Copies of this chain bind each other. A is one copy, B any other.
Amino acid sequence: MAEIFCRSAAGLNDVETSLSAVEICMYEALRPHARSLAQGQMTARSAAFYHLSAGGRRVRARLALAAGLALGLSKVDAVCIASCVELLHNASLVHDDIQDRDVVRRGQAAVWSKYGSNLAICTGDLLLSAAYGVLCRISQPLLLPAMLTLLHQRTAVAIDGQCADLAILGGQSKDLPAYLRIATAKSGALLSLPLELALLAAGHADAASVARQACENLAVSYQIVDDLQDLHADIASVDGCVDQTHCLNIVSVLLNPNDRCSLVSQAQAIAAAKMLAHEHLALCEGQAVQLPSGSGEQLLTLSADLRGLLNTQMVQAAD
């Protein structure tokens, strides 16, 4: 989904400047000790560097930086939180790609397809450990118990979401409530974490639940847009209609299972999916503006991006 968000938020310069500090911080966190056993063989560290070097939009780092700076956190703390959430997100990508057998990530071979599943497991582990390890840089160590609790909670929710997604791929029944639960857990948990950590560090823990709701609503729209973008590929891969068995695409979820290959109902499903996305964006925006000191500004930008995409030819063409 990295390609979805292309526009920039207010405070662009500060965020963009800090993003390069995030890159440095992430690389440093991946080499926490001087000794290395590397003697020509591939290491998890090198594979993690390879994975990060492909870039991506760093949406979660941007969310953390924009919120952190808006809330008056020091640049050091904002960068620390941004690096933490971005390392965690990338850990999940590396392991998800093994599980989903996705061979390409950000235009290059996924870690598992380049180096094998075994090294990719180690790589995800190193990224996950680094996400926690980087928190040692936070300037207010008294906040660490609450930050660790939050980080582990959101990680556990995201893992829950991934397990539920795997169960769907394994043939468990899929319906709209299940779709919403999975999107909320799998994407929402790691989208809300940057905001929740920034609010916590800035003394606004009371606003965390609104931030979480806003991000969960964003995550549902985010997932729907992603599904609509993938729709042509999904349709092409299963003889002109959306696969009902192995694909958790919103269109397949909304299609009437008894009339699955009808173009009429497919168009209706796409229209319904768009409406659902718009509804969740409206909820997200209503919640984002409640967040203190404009810390929800980046959410509004992301929401506007998604609204734009919902009206582009990409999605129109599928109608």
Taken together as a complex, chains A and B put the C-alpha atoms of A163 and B46 apart, in Å, by: 11
Taken together as a complex, chains A and B put the C-alpha atoms of A159 and B37 apart, in Å, by: 10
A132 within 8 A of B: yes
Which residue from chain B places its CB closest to the CB of A132 in the assembled complex?
B132
A58 within 8 A of B: no
Please name all residues of chain B whose beta carbon is closer than 8 Å to the beta carbon of A145 when the two chains form the complex.
135-138, 141, 144
Segment from A102-110, A164-172, A278-286 that makes contact with B: A164-172
Taking a contact as CB atoms under 8 Å apart, the answer to whether A159 and B33 are in contact is no
0 or 1 for each of A303-316: is its CB under 8 Å from B? (1 = yes) = 00000000000000
Taking a contact as CB atoms under 8 Å apart, the answer to whether A37 and B181 are in contact is yes
Question: Which one of B129, B166, B182 contacts A128 once the chains associate, using CB atoms below 8 Å?
Answer: B129
Please name all residues of chain B whose beta carbon is closer than 8 Å to the beta carbon of A42 when the two chains form the complex.
163, 167
A200 within 8 A of B: no
Which residue from chain B places its CB closest to the CB of A172 in the assembled complex?
B41
Instruction: Give min CB distance, A215 to chain B, whole Å.
Output: 15
A35 within 8 A of B: yes
Query: Could you tell me which residues of chain A, from 151 to 168, have a CB within 8 Å of some CB in chain B?
Result: 151-153, 155-157, 159-164, 166-167
Please name all residues of chain B whose beta carbon is closer than 8 Å to the beta carbon of A129 when the two chains form the complex.
128, 132, 151-152, 155-156, 159
Instruction: Give min CB distance, A37 to chain B, whole Å.
Output: 4
Taking a contact as CB atoms under 8 Å apart, the answer to whether A152 and B125 are in contact is no
Taking a contact as CB atoms under 8 Å apart, the answer to whether B118 and A132 are in contact is no
Taking a contact as CB atoms under 8 Å apart, the answer to whether B152 and A32 are in contact is yes
Please name all residues of chain B whose beta carbon is closer than 8 Å to the beta carbon of A185 when the two chains form the complex.
37
Please name all residues of chain B whose beta carbon is closer than 8 Å to the beta carbon of A31 when the two chains form the complex.
156
Question: Which one of B33, B37, B124, B153 contacts A163 once the chains associate, using CB atoms below 8 Å?
Answer: B37
Question: Which one of B126, B146, B172, B178 contacts A159 once the chains associate, using CB atoms below 8 Å?
Answer: B126
A44 within 8 A of B: yes
Instruction: Give min CB distance, A148 to chain B, whole Å.
Output: 4
A56 within 8 A of B: no
Instruction: Give min CB distance, A166 to chain B, whole Å.
Output: 5
Taking a contact as CB atoms under 8 Å apart, the answer to whether A122 and B162 are in contact is yes
A-B contact pairs, 28 of them (CB 8 A): A32-B152, A32-B153, A33-B156, A33-B157, A35-B157, A37-B160, A37-B182, A37-B185, A41-B163, A91-B125, A95-B122, A99-B118, A122-B159, A122-B163, A125-B159, A126-B155, A129-B151, A130-B156, A132-B152, A133-B151, A133-B152, A133-B153, A136-B145, A137-B145, A138-B145, A141-B145, A142-B142, A144-B144
Known: A119-B166, A129-B152, A137-B145. 11 other contacts (CB 8 A): A31-B156, A33-B153, A37-B160, A41-B167, A44-B160, A125-B159, A128-B129, A136-B145, A141-B142, A141-B145, A144-B145
